[in-house]
Amino acid sequence: MPQFLAHTDQPLVAGPAGARRPTACIVLNDGQIFYGTGFGATGTAVAELCFNTAMTGYQEIMTDPSYAGQIVTFTFPHIGNVGTNDEDDETAEPVASGMIVKWDPTAPSNWRAAGTLSDWLEKRGRIGIGGVDTRRLTRSIRLQGAPHAVIAHDPDGNFDLDEMLARAKAWPGLEGMDLARDVTCAQSYRWNEMRWAWPEGYARRETPGHRVVAIDYGAKRNILRCLASAGCDVTVLPATATAEDVLAHDPEGIFLSNGPGDPAATGVYAVPMMKTILETTDLPVFGICLGHQMLALALGARTIKMNHGHHGANHPVKELATGKVEVTSMNHGFTVDSQTLPEGVIETHVSLFDGSNCGIAIEGRPVFSVQHHPEASPGPQDSFYLFERFVAAMKKRTEVAA
């Protein structure tokens, strides 16, 4: 295997097998350099580097708005093997800044494939890098924390390593960044598409349901589909919606979506809205991911940055009330500090990987949230009961009012 000299003061780094010259490069802010084979778009990108342990769902991951400001290293080597299609995107365009994989993507082998991963990335301006020692890269992230990184793809293999390192060191990082504003919808809209089912695909909800206002901090499409499938008429509002905006739709329940960035930064405008809702109404509230963190902040808890976060479709989470263990999909770099939960707010779920908080609820009220992604795309369906619990709370409130 050939080797390439990055800097005279840097160690030799192994390049991709069989390549005479690398066409892609990764520079971390601590000076580590990795070479590989570029695919997808050419150019450069700077972001936080994370790793994802999911075995499926790379298209959903790249289009998950929660990955704004991040480059994804996939620990599973067979990325690209099922190609891409027009149905699996979680939002209109990829949000992750780029992807890093062990093996160069092969030709797709799946009946749903409409194109290759490389072409899909190129058309959408996202860089892919293959032939990288992702095990070594992942170990570095676990040991030292999620680094800031610059990735580059140049077919001629020309890289300005000094400039890339300077950019990586100068990038401010996700702490203090409000990225929800960048990925939220520009205006409100209705949603009635339901979950994919054989053989119809995505059906539309035709019957009336419970009126739900979903706050879009970076909502994944499949979360909205799950709400519709569970029995909700969904109206989506931008992240900056006020309590007055929300209540103007006469909702029976409030949903808080997933999203990217520092929850404390988004909370500057999201927390006052939630406090008003909680103090002036008895509406059921359900939050996921960033929405979970927004609810926790509104209740007086704090959030903290994690060393390398949780990213994958194989994370065990325990529901404390029942002892049930759910295999969940996760994507977050910040977490709720359970030690700061106020009286009357209980911890409902915990991660079995590190004991971090994965759920909260207000005692005696239908207000709850989870850190993981119960919409299960990608991942199993262990947690879909949470959508049903939300709908049951709205139904009970309606019956009591009647």
Partner residues linked to 253 by β-bridges: 212
Q: Where are the alpha helices (DSSP H) in 180-237?
A: 180-183, 221-230
**Angstrom distance (rounded) from CA 36 to CA 142:** 21
**Angstrom distance (rounded) from CA 69 to CA 215:** 21
Q: Which of 25, 50, 289, 358 is catalytic?
A: 289
Tokens coding 167: 């950019």
Check residue 151 and report its DSSP letter: E
- Give the 3-state secondary structure percentages of the chain, helix then strand then coil, rounded to 5: 25, 30, 45
| Catalytic site includes residue 25 | no
Using alpha carbons, select from 293, 289, 285, 237 the residue that is nearest to residue 258: 289
Q: Where are the alpha helices (DSSP H) in 281-347?
A: 290-298
- Number of Cβ within 10 Å of residue 8's Cβ equals 5
| Catalytic site includes residue 372 | no
**Angstrom distance (rounded) from CA 110 to CA 156:** 32
Using alpha carbons, select from 346, 351, 349, 352 the residue that is nearest to residue 320: 349
> What letters, b where the CB count within 10 A reaches 16 and e where it falls short, cover 116-126?
bbbebbbebeb
Q: How far apart are the first and last CA of the chain?
A: 74
Q: Which of 48, 252, 326, 375 is catalytic?
A: 375
Q: Where are the alpha helices (DSSP H) in 195-255?
A: 221-230, 243-247
Q: Which of 153, 315, 372, 373 is catalytic?
A: 373
**Angstrom distance (rounded) from CA 133 to CA 141:** 13
| Catalytic site includes residue 311 | no
> Known catalytic residues?
289, 373, 375
